[in-house]
Chain A
Amino acid sequence: NAGVTQTPKFQVLKTGQSMTLQCAQDMNHEYMSWYRQDPGMGLRLIHYSVGAGITDQGEVPNGYNVSRSTTEDFPLRLLSAAPSQTSVYFCASSPDRVAYEQYFGPGTRLTVT
């Protein structure tokens, strides 16, 4: 199993551009989530999904959209990037929402200029 994969590893955007951060898992996990991590801070939850077709907001959802059309994929969309969205983004998955262990991807480092 590849586990949780994220692409790209690095990305630079200009203010106002849009892009999609990709997240995929091959463990048939129902639960997937997106976090962002800013320098010197812990991780903050952006959006999560408890199964295909079901998504919900986390702590910091503004400026981000998600959808979950398949079990494997959970893309994060930035519709109009802002400098405040410069961060490292982590995707995570677990077998279900009550599972004890979540598996994290390697992260995408995004810079918005």
Chain B
Amino acid sequence: DAKTTQPPSMDCAEGRAANLPCNHSTISGNEYVYWYRQIHSQGPQYIIHGLKNNETNEMASLIITEDRKSSTLILPHATLRDTAVYYCIVRPAYNQGGKLIFGQGTELSVKP
């Protein structure tokens, strides 16, 4: 599975958009980009995934560059409850084990 690189921490003002970057320069053509988050002491929570097109759901938007070497997760109006560690994960859709390989993630602090 391709490796990802994320900044260790970011701050965001409440009500503003939070833009979390992820670098995955060795991504293969059959690998998807997934985002999960982990609120303190809880289990991780799925946010969104994409292959090459931009994606949006009720939680967030995912922007993937044309060369697919990087992506950005956007929380359009961050709230205090969005304070969490955000993980960017790359894996094939049809890998043998369905496993997720978590990196260090980005710790997002949303401040009033």
Residue A43 at the chain B interface, CB threshold 8 Å:
yes
Interface 9-mer from B13-21, B66-74, B76-84, B87-95:
B87-95
Taking A104-B44, A106-B42 as contacts, is the C-beta distance between A45 and B98 under 8 angstroms? no
Taking A41-B104, A42-B102, A42-B104 as contacts, is the C-beta distance between A48 and B97 under 8 angstroms? yes
B43, B45, B99 — most chain A CB neighbours (10 Å): B43
- Across the interface, B46 reaches (CB within 8 A) one of A33, A35, A59, A100, namely A100
Tally of contact residues, A, Cβ under 8 A: 29
- Across the interface, A99 reaches (CB within 8 A) one of B98, B99, B101, B102, namely B98
Residue A90 at the chain B interface, CB threshold 8 Å:
yes
Taking A42-B87, A56-B97, A100-B34 as contacts, is the C-beta distance between A107 and B43 under 8 angstroms? yes
Interface of chain B, main secondary structure = loop
A33-53 interface code vs B (CB 8 A; 1 in, 0 out) = 101000001111100101000
Q: 8 Å CB contacts to B: which residues of A8-57? A: 31, 33, 35, 41-45, 48, 50, 56
Instruction: Give the residues in chain A near B87, CB-CB below 8 Å.
Output: 42
Instruction: Give the residues in chain B near A50, CB-CB below 8 Å.
Output: 97-98
Task: A6 to B104: give the CA distance in the assembly, Å.
Answer: 24
B102 A43 Cβ-Cβ under 8 A: yes
Q: How far is the CB of B94 from chain A (nearest CB, A)?
A: 5
- Across the interface, B98 reaches (CB within 8 A) one of A31, A35, A44, namely A31
Q: Which A residues fall within an 8 A CB radius of B?
A: 4, 31, 33, 35, 41-45, 48, 50, 56, 58-59, 90, 92, 94, 96-107
